[in-house]
Structure 1
Amino acid sequence: MTLLSVGGDRTSPSRAASRMLHALPLTGLLIDLAVMVGVGLIAIVGRRELDIFTASANVEHSVTVAGPLIILGWLATIALGGGYKADIFGAGMDEYKRVFNSGLIAAGLAGVGCYLAKFDLSRGFFLLAFSIGVPALLLGRLALRRAIQTARKHGSLRQRALIAGSRSHVDEVATVLRREGWLGYDIVGALTPEYDLSEETATGIPVLGNSSDVTAAITAHEADVVFFAGGSVGASSQLRKTLWQLERHHVQVVVAPSVTDISSERIKIRPVGGLPLIHIEPPTWSDASRWGKRTFDLVGSSLLILAFAPLLAFTALQVKAHDRGPVFFRQIRTGKDGEAFSCLKFRTMCVDAEARLAALHAQTGYTGGLFKMQDDPRVTRPGRWLRRFSIDELPQLFNVWRGDMSLVGPRPPLPIEVEKYDADASRRLHVRPGMTGLWQVSGRSDLTYAEAIRLDLYYVDNWSMVQDLAILTRTLGAVLASRGAY
């Protein structure tokens, strides 16, 4: 199969944008430097105003000597720890781990260095500088990441990618890369095994050549990164020789095994005899049913009920005053292990909403799954603002308190939905349903039913308390922005 001359324009916007990636390490360095200088000034003022460790040396004198050395040493520690490598910017936790660990090491080295040199560094300055500096550096990197991801969504800082492998594996990798657009990959084409004579994959990715011609394809199409998916090579020796050829082309190489929707906490790579083995820990859904999460739900729901008591009372009056109908809408939902429970919500629809449902199904061509429609004629006037800010779901705090639901978990399904579940979707019932979850903070009603199921299954298989806290934090932003709420 000959190589096609597709996407080889050397002056293309995508190619020009990818060159900007080389400036990311320098940008990160300048941000870190600015943060350190700012934190140093704050530490000087704070040491003087708080008047801590009054017996220590004059802060201005000691910082004038040690300050620049601490900053240079701190930057050097981050650099030696890999905190300025181009491939860590924009995704993953590795960047934050390196910056955090480097901060601890720099603090230790500064303390030991001052002790050995018998330098009288202000202890108040030292504590303030590193206790504020490490979180400030992490916030600086977070801001840089947000800027990178925003730029990628608008077409900048993107990389041209080739995917080598069988057509089915190429499509698997391409689906993830397209779904997670913030990663910044523009898929140029696919490279398939020699026996495959197809011109494109099932999802429409053009086949540009054979997987054995990776080097030539990278040169012809000016790719920045190549993904090796399943079926790309016949033996490990072939991949090793390909890597030797690619080392002269300054291209990023990524091996994409057929492992998706598994969190990094469950994956461990342990080389044995030169063979990198991927160990995958069992799913963590059983951990989500233990006393720690239940205690968190009980305490959290109690505090939230007290905090939202005035809003709950005001909303109840608004719903009642609108049409004199019932305040709450009670609907049977399916909970953990298939047990049914009465799910509470503030009523946002007219009293005869259920009777009008069949007509709306016929009108919209509904075939199954979660039924949602924009401008639903059954929604009442107060129901619109209740839905917009998800206030209608606040009574579910009582479901959480009773143990029917959790603060975070999969969406509570209707019994009719559960009847249509396949074996995969049934895994959602291993844990308590939640007031919020991954699908709510990832688009809410704008997601397809299949995508919502995929996110719920990811949550079930990869549960952690840290993830719950992150989802709760993201929920506030999703609600305030009213993303996908109708």
Structure 2
Amino acid sequence: MTHAFESLGNRGLVGNWGSSVADLRNHSLTDHRKISSTGFSASKWRKKYTRILVFSDTAILLMASGAVLGIFSATATTNLWVAGCSILVWASYLSLARTRSPQQIGVGAREYKRVVDSSAFAAGTMAVATLLLDIEGVREQILVTFPAGMMLLLAGRWLWRRWLSAKSEAGYALSQVVVVGQSQDVDYVVRQLQKNAGPAYKICGLLFDGSQGDPRIEESVPTFHGIDNLEQAVQFAGADSVIIAGSLRGGTGALKELSWRLEKTQTNIIVVSSLTNVAGPRISMRPVEGLPLMHVDVPSFAGGHHVIKRAIDIVLSTVALLVLMPVFLIISILVRQDSKGPAFFSQERVGRNGRTFRMYKFRSMVVNAEDELEQLKNQNEGSGPLFKMKHDPRVTKVGIWLRKYSLDELPQIYNVLRGNMSLVGPRPPLQSEVASYEGHTGRRLFIKPGLTGLWQINGRSDLDWEESVRLDLYYVENWSLTGDLMIMWRTFKVMVQPTGAY
């Protein structure tokens, strides 16, 4: 089975092993068991987790339909029949859309998107049936059961994902993999797996096609050299999948031969796309008589999705400003009492297509902070053109916790309402940063900057400049409404458990 490698994720590497094939073959059975570190193989664990999702989804559908029957008409036979049909149609769409596919669950936004799509299709099917067959009792199902059930399904999947992530800390994973490829490709894939977390993949072996890789990585897991040792690597590591990290020295023919060899071991093949900055929403496959063609859509910087994005910005920013008004008032008072000066701070930033605008924040530094910046530049701890200090003497007492919990950025909601910014997007840069852009970095300005984004939820100031740029460019070219919702959700978690905020 071959499929495109869409998301990288796992918690880390296990064991402490040598790097030669001969040494690995001499390891005892006890050492082999040490790799798995759980009572389940990945395939058994994956099947068990899938059954859990089936049971959970079914229980949620029954609960949502049962609640509607209890509220509206528990004794009506017609309603019972309609509720049963709704559950059957809904469960069928969840299965047909492969919402519990091993390639979708556990990491990324696609699992949630497929649950939403399935729920929408089920509601649409019941609505059409009502019009054609003149069935009574469907209105309550469409207006109440489907929206409520969809939210419960999403909440259930999120809770199970949290449980699965906790299990991954103990060594459980949906797939145990051996990473195969040339040294630079293997090192890159391993680093991405380590950083991007998730319980989807657990690295249990490396197979280098040629020279050695990073010694620090090689010391962490069993390491083989040479494609000829593929079967031994898979068997020794107890892997159920092989990740092909980039091109092999033997070219496309080597990949085909490798897949044939793995048929005997029933091992899945996961191919890492060379288009490392292109995400699933822009990729589609079209086979043409034995020639699988990968279609990559052109990035969208305007159009219908952007209109919807702007509508969501207007609605959510308006609601947020009204709800947070008391919070704004309290923070303003605290800032004014803590140090002399205004409660708010504004600064010129660069927005979409290079247009400048005034960005607003709660003041977290002394009034003359800009004047003191020149004296502190030699203590800069940031990377690239960014200036950052973990213990900046200009930050006020109130400013310390405002920055820690990102409360100083709340006034940017006003920028979102005005249209200078979006709720989700790249970090809004200073003019001095834009002046130092090199290469394709300027593509960050193709869309509006955001109140939050991938930079904010992946470490913020702890990231180096190259990684910050990579995340922003990735978002610019691959953003989606579903991805925006997930970023907003993860932002709340980062605000409660802040990382890199100073």
Per the TM alignment, residue 408 of structure 1 is displaced from its structure 2 partner at its CA by: 2.3
Q: Which one of the candidate residues 32, 35, 40 is aligned to 2:54?
A: 32
* Corresponding letter in the other structure for 2:77: A
Contact 2:45–2:172 under 8 Å retained in 1: no
Task: Supply the distance in 1 between the matched residues of 2:452 and 2:37 (Cα, whole angstroms).
Answer: 40
Indicate the residue corresponding to 2:9 in structure 1: none
Q: Which moved more, 1:388-397 or 1:252-261?
A: 388-397
Contact 2:61–2:149 under 8 Å retained in 1: yes
Task: Supply the distance in 2 between the matched residues of 1:11 and 1:451 (Cα, whole angstroms).
Answer: 36
Q: Which one of the candidate residues 28, 40, 57 is aligned to 2:77?
A: 57
Is residue 344 from structure 1 mapped to residue 366 from structure 2 by the alignment? no
Is residue 440 from structure 1 mapped to residue 456 from structure 2 by the alignment? yes
Indicate the residue corresponding to 1:200 in structure 2: 213
Task: Supply the distance in 2 between the matched residues of 1:170 and 1:445 (Cα, whole angstroms).
Answer: 27
Which structure: larger Rg? 1
* Corresponding letter in the other structure for 1:3: V
Per the TM alignment, residue 436 of structure 1 is displaced from its structure 2 partner at its CA by: 1.7
Is residue 166 from structure 1 mapped to residue 174 from structure 2 by the alignment? no
Task: Supply the distance in 2 between the matched residues of 1:406 and 1:131 (Cα, whole angstroms).
Answer: 26
Aligned positions of 1:8-47 closer than 5 A: 9-14=31-36, 16=38, 19=41, 21-37=43-59, 39-40=61-62, 43-44=65-66, 46-47=68-69
Per the TM alignment, residue 81 of structure 1 is displaced from its structure 2 partner at its CA by: 6.4
Q: Which one of the candidate residues 161, 174, 179 is aligned to 1:145?
A: 161
Q: Which moved more, 1:426-435 or 1:282-291?
A: 282-291
Is residue 278 from structure 1 mapped to residue 294 from structure 2 by the alignment? yes
Aligned residues: 473
Per the TM alignment, residue 108 of structure 1 is displaced from its structure 2 partner at its CA by: 10
Provide the alpha-carbon RMSD of the alignment: 4.1
Aligned positions of 1:176-191 closer than 5 A: 176-191=192-207
Task: Supply the distance in 2 between the matched residues of 1:171 and 1:364 (Cα, whole angstroms).
Answer: 30
Contact 1:4–1:208 under 8 Å retained in 2: no
Task: Supply the distance in 1 between the matched residues of 2:128 and 2:325 (Cα, whole angstroms).
Answer: 53
Indicate the residue corresponding to 2:344 in structure 1: 328
Per the TM alignment, residue 268 of structure 1 is displaced from its structure 2 partner at its CA by: 0.6
Residues 435 and 161 of structure 1, relative CA distance in 2, 3 Å threshold: same
Contact 1:78–1:99 under 8 Å retained in 2: yes
TM-score, length-normalised on structure 2? 0.78
Is residue 370 from structure 1 mapped to residue 386 from structure 2 by the alignment? yes
- Identical aligned residues as a percent: 35
Per the TM alignment, residue 273 of structure 1 is displaced from its structure 2 partner at its CA by: 1.1
Per the TM alignment, residue 202 of structure 1 is displaced from its structure 2 partner at its CA by: 7.9
Task: Supply the distance in 1 between the matched residues of 2:366 and 2:461 (Cα, whole angstroms).
Answer: 21
Residues 399 and 2 of structure 1, relative CA distance in 2, 3 Å threshold: closer
Is residue 480 from structure 1 mapped to residue 496 from structure 2 by the alignment? yes
Per the TM alignment, residue 18 of structure 1 is displaced from its structure 2 partner at its CA by: 5.8
Task: Supply the distance in 2 between the matched residues of 1:4 and 1:397 (Cα, whole angstroms).
Answer: 61
Per the TM alignment, residue 295 of structure 1 is displaced from its structure 2 partner at its CA by: 4.7
Task: Supply the distance in 1 between the matched residues of 2:114 and 2:271 (Cα, whole angstroms).
Answer: 22
Contact 1:18–1:158 under 8 Å retained in 2: no
* Corresponding letter in the other structure for 1:310: P
Structure with the greater relative contact order (CA < 8 A, sep ≥ 6): 1 or 2? Answer: 2
Task: Supply the distance in 1 between the matched residues of 2:140 and 2:412 (Cα, whole angstroms).
Answer: 48
Indicate the residue corresponding to 1:3 in structure 2: 21
Is residue 450 from structure 1 mapped to residue 466 from structure 2 by the alignment? yes
Gapped runs of 5+ residues in structure 1? none
Per the TM alignment, residue 381 of structure 1 is displaced from its structure 2 partner at its CA by: 2.0
Residues 47 and 248 of structure 1, relative CA distance in 2, 3 Å threshold: same
> C-alpha offsets along residues 285-323 of structure 1, whole Å, 9 cap, x if unaligned?
345995554454445444433333333333333322333
> C-alpha offsets along residues 202-256 of structure 1, whole Å, 9 cap, x if unaligned?
8754761212432232224433321123332635444333323212223221111
Indicate the residue corresponding to 1:90 in structure 2: 106
Contact 2:109–2:482 under 8 Å retained in 1: no
Indicate the residue corresponding to 2:401 in structure 1: 385
Task: Supply the distance in 1 between the matched residues of 2:456 and 2:306 (Cα, whole angstroms).
Answer: 24
Residues 425 and 391 of structure 1, relative CA distance in 2, 3 Å threshold: same
Q: Which moved more, 1:420-429 or 1:146-155?
A: 146-155
Q: Which moved more, 1:411-420 or 1:71-80?
A: 71-80
Residue 16 of structure 1: SS of its match in structure 2? coil
Task: Supply the distance in 1 between the matched residues of 2:118 and 2:311 (Cα, whole angstroms).
Answer: 35
Aligned positions of 1:308-323 closer than 5 A: 308-323=324-339
Indicate the residue corresponding to 2:3 in structure 1: none
Residues 326 and 186 of structure 1, relative CA distance in 2, 3 Å threshold: same
Task: Supply the distance in 2 between the matched residues of 1:355 and 1:375 (Cα, whole angstroms).
Answer: 18
Per the TM alignment, residue 440 of structure 1 is displaced from its structure 2 partner at its CA by: 1.1
Residue 163 of structure 1: SS of its match in structure 2? strand
Residues 385 and 73 of structure 1, relative CA distance in 2, 3 Å threshold: closer
> C-alpha offsets along residues 22-51 of structure 1, whole Å, 9 cap, x if unaligned?
133234324433553464366345424422
Contact 1:166–1:229 under 8 Å retained in 2: yes
Contact 2:457–2:490 under 8 Å retained in 1: yes
